[in-house]
Chains A and B, each alone.
Chain A
């Protein structure tokens, strides 16, 4: 069931991960024993994580990775990162995605490449991943709901992937879509809370930026389904919803693509959605955020702390207007 991959030396030292995991599962065990019978407790003691099924050729790549981007802020635990998710396809509460994770099947995954490029077509996940060397990057993730985490992602730069399809000069934007099968919807997709499929998009220069990342794993393992298995986008200077999960389609486009939250509430979620403490949101003040694991809020950084790297992309943009 659970495909366990020994965590790479460079990713985590033995003392980093093992005691914590054991500690957490012990706590969970104690908790469950209090709630239910010991049989239920025993059953839940064993990991019930639904992982991405990655091609064998890709799985070994998640080991011994070089950490290319790091942060001197403590990382959130694997437990935090995989138990508190916004993934409306698997339900709208934070604990729904983990609970319904097994409903998402990542077998025989493929991605459709469309639009303004020389090499459109349907590529299997194996084809997508094959030529890339993987690396580990520790990024902040800032949700528009004013909470944040620090996550060790595994993957490769999006630009390396996009170049392979030879986008033409007409390609000004890149659009992404999440899995949606009308005849076999995921548990959250039976509700029309969002117009499915989930859509996201980036301007071409944002997509080609060296920080923009395609993640296929975290903490030395393939992505758990609730985190957007088997492959997702990570754009660390934008609000979390821009980092679309479980991608099945990438389209190069001349015009700015439609994005899901913007379609739902254009006054609240702009196309850019760059983390910006100075642009207020009708629901959440964006000036401060709660780092998961901390009780009190801390100040939010401009572009989520990646100002040096990305500010130049927006120097001609009115950020109050293009929020």
Chain B
């Protein structure tokens, strides 16, 4: 499975001084763009809707990118890629937080009663809100310290990312009125990731796989 010719390891300095800051910059571009557009009064006819759509979409995309890291590592043999998984997940939470705050402040006028009614009455809100809430424990336990402390439990907990991703896609599908093209494409990509996850976890149960993997 491993394509060794695709494997390479950039020098630690390059990762530290170029690739990591580059990733942060990439993840922050959307935020900068939105801030600039808000400043330039260029968020469109319905600025609140633009903020909601863009932050929601960015969060979902980052979540999907974070899930791509492991398969990408396995296919290309580049374990250093794993360094990028945590920032991707954290930025996904960051945009989900803005998404939620925009909803809370502008759509629901910071009124708890409206929010609770919305969560109860509208399935897409129920699902989206659940995804957001599930991201909180993952964010809290994302530090190295917590990872060490939770040991085996950590991986199990962080497999919730798949559940969150599924909920986010259901959230998007449920708000779609008629044109499901976008929701379907996210769904298709997510399905590929799930298939990979299932296959790889079946394989990791097989003893012979353990032998080969211990050779690295």
22 pairs across A/B with beta carbons < 8 Å?
A: A27-B41, A31-B40, A83-B45, A84-B44, A88-B178, A94-B46, A145-B177, A147-B46, A147-B49, A191-B179, A193-B178, A264-B178, A280-B121, A282-B121, A282-B122, A282-B123, A288-B114, A290-B46, A290-B48, A290-B107, A295-B48, A296-B109
- With A80-B45, A83-B45 known as contacts, the answer to whether A191 contacts B121 (CB < 8 A) is no
The residue from B40, B41, B44, B174 contacting A283, defined by CB atoms under 8 A apart? B174
Give the shortest distance, in Å, between A141 (CB) and chain B (any CB). 13
- Per the bound structure, the CA–CA distance linking A288 and B106 in Å amounts to 12
Measured between beta carbons, the chain B residues less than 8 angstroms from A290 are: 46, 48, 107
Listed in ascending order, the chain B residues whose CB lies under 8 Å from chain A are 40-42, 44-49, 106-107, 109, 114, 117-118, 121-124, 174-175, 177-181
The residue from A27, A31, A283, A292 contacting B175, defined by CB atoms under 8 A apart? A283
How big is the A interface, by class? 20 to 34
Give the shortest distance, in Å, between A200 (CB) and chain B (any CB). 15
Nearest 6 interchain pairs by C-beta: A84-B45, A92-B179, A193-B178, A193-B179, A80-B45, A83-B45
Measured between beta carbons, the chain B residues less than 8 angstroms from A83 are: 44-45
Interface centre among B45, B121, B124 (most CB of A within 10 A): B45
Give the shortest distance, in Å, between A273 (CB) and chain B (any CB). 14
Listed in ascending order, the chain A residues whose CB lies under 8 Å from chain B are 27, 31, 34, 79-80, 83-84, 88, 92, 94-95, 145, 147, 191, 193-194, 264, 280, 282-285, 288, 290, 292, 295-297
Interface centre among A80, A84, A283 (most CB of B within 10 A): A283
Measured between beta carbons, the chain A residues less than 8 angstroms from B181 are: 191
- Per the bound structure, the CA–CA distance linking A31 and B37 in Å amounts to 10
Measured between beta carbons, the chain B residues less than 8 angstroms from A295 are: 47-48, 106
The residue from A80, A88, A92, A283 contacting B122, defined by CB atoms under 8 A apart? A283
Measured between beta carbons, the chain B residues less than 8 angstroms from A94 are: 44-46, 49
- Per the bound structure, the CA–CA distance linking A282 and B44 in Å amounts to 26
- Per the bound structure, the CA–CA distance linking A193 and B179 in Å amounts to 5
- Per the bound structure, the CA–CA distance linking A297 and B118 in Å amounts to 14
The residue of chain A having its C-beta at the shortest distance from the C-beta of B42 within the complex is: A31
| Contact between B47 and A88, CB atoms less than 8 A apart | no
Give the shortest distance, in Å, between B189 (CB) and chain A (any CB). 20
